[in-house]
Amino acid sequence: MPDGVLKWFDAKTGTAEVIRAGRTFPARASDIETAARRPGARVHFDIRREHGVEYAVDVRLRVGTRVSRHQHRFGTLAGAHRGDAKGTPHYARLHPELHAAARHPLEIARAWATSLVQADLDGALALYAPDATVHVGTRTLSGRDALAAWLADTAVFDSQRHPRIRGDDGMATVSWSGAAGSEPGMLVRCRIEHGEITEQWVSEHEAPTQRLVADHARPLAFELSTSGEIDDATKRSAEESILRELRKRSEPVLFVRVKLAWEPDPARIAPATAQVSVDVNGDLVRAQVAAPTMPEAIDRLGHRLRDRLEHRARHRERLHRSSALAAPGEWRHGDLPTHRRPFFDRPVEERQLVRHKTFALGELTPDEAVFDMDQLDYDFYLFTDLASGSDSLVERLEDGTYRLTRIESLEADLGPTATEIEVSKTPVPVLDLAAAIERLNAGEEPHVFFKNATTGRANVLYRRYDGHYGLITPE
């Protein structure tokens, strides 16, 4: 029976997920004992394969694990990537190319689309939940083999084509226009939960139609593409509305692309979407609207395009009047991005201790501490060493190895370990809070591990993202 950590538990749906060594297994509430239904609980479980999906069953708390009154503060038991983090942490398994903070559904969809167009099949599959389903026309696909075969057979696989991504609240829409005038595009709606794609709906855009429209004796490339059931009269109405706004402009219009989409989903308040991209003398101007009906969307699109063109004219006028050099502290379009430190560089005299976390240290082996730290994605973890009985800190080094520091019993044998753990031989400094703050300000380390001169217990002082201090102490 393997060990793992309960990644999340949804009491409303009765579903959960267990993580072990980077692999996740879906689970049902009926297969989880009541005491273990808490995110972050260390559990034993068995694996059962159903319809090509491996489920975690008979999920129970590990022997000796308690769900105490401190469990609701599980996310505050140690300093993490963000030392100010509070509450239960998010247990999302991320794509290897995503940073720890990139858990928004749009970022998950962006990583999936990027992997697909770059022919990274493993990277795209890693973003699916184990029980994910994909609806392609009348077919419903599930299981890794079926999803891999479908991904490799899509028109955008290894195409290097740039996707368009939009949406929020757990739903994201990824779309690609056709590579050529005769090729259809593809639109994929994704439901994303707990940092993974759980369901997708796939449809194709109609192939765009292109023609040249005369405008003041100058040829204008006008492209119109549609998705869904849209009649010819609606297409002509959209064309006339856009051209009516463009004829009012004195600058040359080189290219126009209009996209109309109708998605008859009863759950959508505004199923009609209209979008236009206009090349005005080398500048790209975009506008997009959504409405309950397509005629209303076309009308709104004309007004929105007018606003965008007027905004562009005002912006160019301001640029013409402005000086060539930016003022101190001013950023202008085209400047290099500002390099930002991981925390605000607040002056020393303004820094204060604004966060003090207190918790009961658990008695663990170094391997168990490393296990918990890796599952929670922390940089360091404070615990009581089971072998020595000493307050200890295990931390991840830049080369991926681990270091263990005890405040007492430096000579205690570490014993056999499953991971490579270096035992620090440097004595832990005995400091009061003022001396620890002075030491943190003098060095470049993100935290200071010290023995409190008053209590004799291990403390960790760290810099918060806002430049102030945070302190972690045991009960």
Same domain, 461 and 402: yes
Q: What is the pLDDT of residue 84?
A: 39
The answer to whether the beta carbons of residues 391 and 382 sit under 8 Å apart is yes
CA 171 to chain centre: 13
Do both 213 and 281 map to the same domain? yes
Q: Are 39 and 19 in contact (CB under 8 A)?
A: no
CATH number of domain containing 68: 2.40.50.140
For position 130, what pLDDT does the model report? 86
What is the C-alpha separation between 122 and 119, in angstroms, rounded?
9
pLDDT < 70 positions in the chain: 1, 21-22, 63-103, 168-169, 178-184, 204-220, 317-342, 386-387, 409-416
Q: Residue 461 belongs to what domain range?
A: 348-474
Find the CATH number of the domain harbouring 196.
3.10.450.50
Look at residue 340 and tell me if it is in a domain: no
pLDDT in tens, 295-333: 999 999 999 999 988 888 887 766 654 545 556 666 666
pLDDT digits (tens, 9 = 90+) for 39-71: 878 888 999 999 889 999 999 887 654 444 444
Q: Does any domain span residue 359?
A: yes
Residues 123 and 151 in one domain: yes
| Domain termination residue (choose one: 154, 176, 204) | 204
Beta strands 421-423 and 402-406: pairing type?
A: parallel
Burial 376-386 (b: 16+ CB within 10 A, else e): bebbbbbbbbe
Residue 113 burial by Cβ neighbours in a 10 Å radius (0-12, 13-18, 19+): buried
Q: In what order do the strands lie in the sheet with 421-423?
A: 363-364, 380-385, 391-396, 402-406, 421-423
Same-domain status, 213 and 200: no
Same domain, 139 and 120: yes
The number of distinct structural domains making up the chain is 4
Q: Output the domain CATH number for residue 254.
A: 3.30.160.100
Domain membership flag for residue 71:
yes
Q: Which amino acid is at 367?
A: D
Tokens matching residue 405 = 């520091």
Same domain, 142 and 216: no
**Residue 368 belongs to some domain of the structure:** yes
For residues 149 and 140, what is the distance between their CA atoms, to the nearest angstrom?
13
**227 and 291 share one domain:** yes
Residue 342, in any domain of the structure: no
Rounded Cα–Cα distance for residues 239 and 427 (Å): 76
Asked which of 204, 237, 263 is the last residue of a domain, the reply is 204
- Residue 390, Cβ neighbours under 10 Å: how many? 17
Task: Name the strand (E) or helix (H) holding 410.
Answer: none
Q: Please count the residues of the chain.
A: 475
pTM here? Answer: 0.35
**Which of 170, 204, 238 is the C-terminal boundary of a domain?**
204
* Shared domain check, 353 and 470: yes
In a domain, 20, yes or no: yes
